[in-house]
Structure 1
Amino acid sequence: MTRRTQQERREATVAKLVDATISAIVELGYHRTSVQAICGRAGLSVGAMFRQFDSRLDLVVAAVEEVVARHLAHFREHLAALAAEEDVITASLRFLRQATGSPLTHVLREVLIAARTEQELRSRVRPTIHRYYSAIFADAEHAGVLAPLPPEHRENVVHMMVHLFSGEALITGVDPRPEQAEAQLQLARRMLLTLAGTD
């Protein structure tokens, strides 16, 4: 059996810590995700964590970067299929709703809510979040998913729809109204078709 190098061991430890941070934030929320909770999930000592990260904040920032990377990979994986749909607007809205309701997106929401009042967290995650939204728009534009919409409105539409379904996912956790879900999606679809000039 080949022994792992020190770099490989370090990368494995970092991956365990990042995965444990993501898992803890999903289950416990941002504020209850302590270093002890993370290390317990990772099966590592607190000392092992501090050998890799200087602070809990550094680890949270690494977790946010990993969540964004996973989200973008998932999005890119599905873009070709979305672009090939006969009704690309409806298919895109359904995909967006599913993606914004995923546990990974809950991690981003937890961190963004905390960042509203924690200046250091806000400044540390801002570049990653900015890059995330820019990449979503650029990838959707490149894949042709936004082609039915007027070019001057495309970026705003992407942001509005992400925020619409992200807000819906947040409220649904407290006050689910499944009977309204399809009607709201169809209303969003009609609004976009009107904007596209095809309704």
Structure 2
Amino acid sequence: MAVSPARKRTERAPARPSTRKAATEGGPTRQSLKSAQTRGRLIEATIQCLVKVGYAGTTTPLVATEAGLSRGAMLHHFENSATLIRATIVELHERRLRAFRRSSETTEHEPATMVAAYWKQVHKPAFVAFQELAMAARTDADLAQIMRPLQVEYRERFHDEAIALFPEWQSAPAQFEQAMALSQTLIEGMATGLMTGALDEEMVPALLKMLEDQIRTLRPKAA
């Protein structure tokens, strides 16, 4: 999806009258809920298109078709491809953070459980869609301009939440940073390797076990 240089504004659109009315009355209006649902459909359609045809093949007419909407209806919610892509990246980041919270809050932080949860996450369409965007941003300056500040914001939020969710690592911040970086690099790299055929699937269990053992080595003894 080529981001139009002439119209690549990334700021949030001003609130519609119905949204301001809802805020005044203390709850969302029916119209604002319908608008949010339509925006959600378009973002989900964008994710599906990225998975099916890649970034280069993801056009606004294709997204509208995937969402079951007219292009005019889509432009009512997203004025151009830049605003749609920005909203999609934000949603992908939110999904990743929600998954991280769920896996962290419902376990005893046993490395095997955490590694398994992360491995499961990178097999979902959202991961594939994000990888498409990340790779395309390497050579697409307009996409990179949208993505980079969002990546910085995401890293800061992820870091803050990780520290709060894993208090047992507070005595070893350097090792915690290493464990998080190692987990992300290895698991996401393995997932990409499987998608491209660079990794033999039979090696996956052993590599994940090596990661679990390394996390245990880094983890503070008191944990």
TM-score, scaled relative to structure 2? 0.77
What SS class does the counterpart of residue 128 from structure 1 fall into? helix
1:76 equivalenced with 2:98 (yes/no): no
Question: How far apart, in 1, do the equivalents of 2:167 and 2:91 lie?
Answer: 25
Cα RMSD of the aligned pairs, angstroms, is 2.2
Q: Deviations over 1:101-133 (max 9, x none)?
A: 321111111100011111121121222222323
Contiguous gaps of at least 5 residues in structure 1 = none
Query: Partner residue of 2:26?
Result: none
Structure 2 contact 49–58 (Cα < 8 Å) conserved: yes
Structure 2 contact 50–132 (Cα < 8 Å) conserved: yes
Instruction: Pick the aligned partner of 2:55 from 23, 27, 30.
Output: 30
Q: Deviations over 1:5-30 (max 9, x none)?
A: 44333323212211111111122211
Q: For 1:21-100, list aligned pairs within 5 A.
A: 21-82=46-107, 84-85=108-109, 88-100=110-122
Question: How far apart, in 1, do the equivalents of 2:162 and 2:55 lie?
Answer: 30
Question: How far apart, in 2, do the equivalents of 1:71 and 1:62 lie?
Answer: 14
**CA distance 1:5–1:186, change in 2 (3 Å):** closer
Structure 1 contact 92–145 (Cα < 8 Å) conserved: no
Question: How far apart, in 2, do the equivalents of 1:168 and 1:27 lie?
Answer: 20
1:119 equivalenced with 2:135 (yes/no): no
Query: Partner residue of 2:131?
Result: 109
Structure 1 segments (4+ residues) deviating >6 Å: none
**CA distance 1:76–1:92, change in 2 (3 Å):** same
1:182 equivalenced with 2:205 (yes/no): yes
What SS class does the counterpart of residue 196 from structure 2 fall into? coil
1:141 equivalenced with 2:163 (yes/no): yes
Contiguous gaps of at least 5 residues in structure 2 = 1-28
TM-score, scaled relative to structure 1? 0.85
What SS class does the counterpart of residue 55 from structure 2 fall into? coil
Question: How far apart, in 2, do the equivalents of 1:149 and 1:91 lie?
Answer: 22
Question: How far apart, in 1, do the equivalents of 2:167 and 2:117 lie?
Answer: 12
Query: Partner residue of 2:32?
Result: 7
Aligned residue pairs, count: 192
Query: Partner residue of 1:196?
Result: 219
Question: How far apart, in 1, do the equivalents of 2:146 and 2:118 lie?
Answer: 26
- CA drift of 1:146 comes to 6.0
Structure 2 contact 115–208 (Cα < 8 Å) conserved: yes
- CA drift of 1:145 comes to 6.8
